[in-house]
Amino acid sequence: MTMARNESIARMVMFLCFGAAILSLAVQWHTMKTTAQSNPNLSTNNRQNYQNHGDFGKNPGENVVAQKNVQNTNTQKQLHTANNKPRGFFFSDLAEAQSVPDSDQIKTQLLVDLSDRRVYVYHYDQVIASYPIAVGKKGWETPTGNFQIIHKEHHPIWKHPITGKVFEAGTDSPLGDRWIGFWSDGKNEIGFHGTPNTDLIGAAVSHGCLRMRNADVRMLYEQVNLNTPVLVRN
């Protein structure tokens, strides 16, 4: 009787061990199957991510080459521009001051040479016009530096900076019939304008402005726009 009971217990223990082994194998098989199914999705995602990072070119690494080519092209343009400036005038500092990455984006530029008493009009890298000017006298020197056109006006009215006298627009106006402003402190402006006293063109006689013959300032007025860069140097 005791022996029969021991055999029954041993048989139950054997069945339990066998069942545990089968369950373990089933769990392991399920885990391997789940992992195998997830790997293709992971591979697909990796391919998609790689393709998204390569949008600059059709082939792997082409985006890097394209960027280098653009940089090299811009460098070559800058070198070509600097080496081919007519009259020895260089606008690389002006382009940097205006934060323009490519000089081709600057169609028209003005160079004011105070010692030469002339303003030069550039279209891209070519001088298309130049005009004689009168400049600021001692104590009222024309400011130098990089500027841009901020104000254009027909038949301007002028207020004398010392006496406060107001000069109405007209043929005898000290400002002529055109005003092209490029500097301001918020109250006063300095710019190009006409003058009835053409005999003073080429002299240092103004309060900082650049006087021009009326016919010349009319032409300059049509050649520039607001935001046109202006470089003034001694």
Summarised one tens digit per residue, pLDDT across range 119-131 is 999 999 999 999 9
Active site residue 17: no
DSSP string computed for 142-161:
PP-EEEE--EEEES--EE-T
Active site residue 193: yes
Which of 50-64, 70-84, 219-233 ranks highest by mean pLDDT? Answer: 219-233
Whether 42 is in a domain gets the answer no
3-7, 42-46, 109-113, 214-218, range with the lowest pLDDT? 42-46
Summarised one tens digit per residue, pLDDT across range 185-198 is 998 899 999 999 99
CATH of the domain at 228: 2.40.440.10
* Tokens linked to 49: 């991510």
Whether 2 is in a domain gets the answer no
The values of phi and psi at residue 162, to 5°, are -105, -55
Are 193 and 217 spatial neighbours (Cβ–Cβ below 8 Å)? yes
Are 220 and 144 spatial neighbours (Cβ–Cβ below 8 Å)? no
For the chain, the domain total comes to 1
Predicted pLDDT at 39? 47
Higher pLDDT, 94 or 168: 168
The helix (H) or strand (E) run that includes residue 130 is strand 126-132
Whether 126 is in a domain gets the answer yes
Summary mean pLDDT of the chain: 73
One of 17, 80, 160, 193 is an active-site residue; which one? 193
